[in-house]
């Protein structure tokens, strides 16, 4: 554990139980959200690559115009 995290947890430990639980819930939700984002991004790599190839082919074929 880093020193900063250890310090933060020490400060949180001084709070009432309800506030500790609220902070813990926020941290756990944030971690779960990051995990979902990472999984979603990893699963979409093939689709993103395919879309990029399609866009480049359309551009090379002169089927695009500047915005």
Q: What count of residues does the chain have?
A: 67
Span 17-30, pLDDT tens digits:
999 999 999 999 99
What whole-number distance in Å separates Cα of residue 53 and Cα of residue 16? 55
Residue 6, classed as helix, strand or coil, is helix
Half-sphere exposure at residue 4, Cβ-oriented, CA atoms within 13 angstroms: 0
Render each residue's pLDDT in the chain as its tens digit; 67 residues: 999 999 999 999 999 999 999 999 999 999 999 999 888 888 888 888 899 999 999 999 999 998 8
């Amino acid at each position: 554990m880093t020193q900063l995290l250890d310090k933060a947890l020490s400060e949180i430990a001084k709070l009432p139980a309800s506030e500790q639980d609220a902070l813990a819930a926020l941290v756990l939700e944030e971690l779960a959200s990051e995990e979902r984002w990472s999984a979603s991004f990893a699963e979409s790599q093939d689709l993103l690559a395919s879309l990029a190839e399609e866009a480049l082919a359309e551009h090379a074929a002169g089927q695009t115009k500047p915005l």
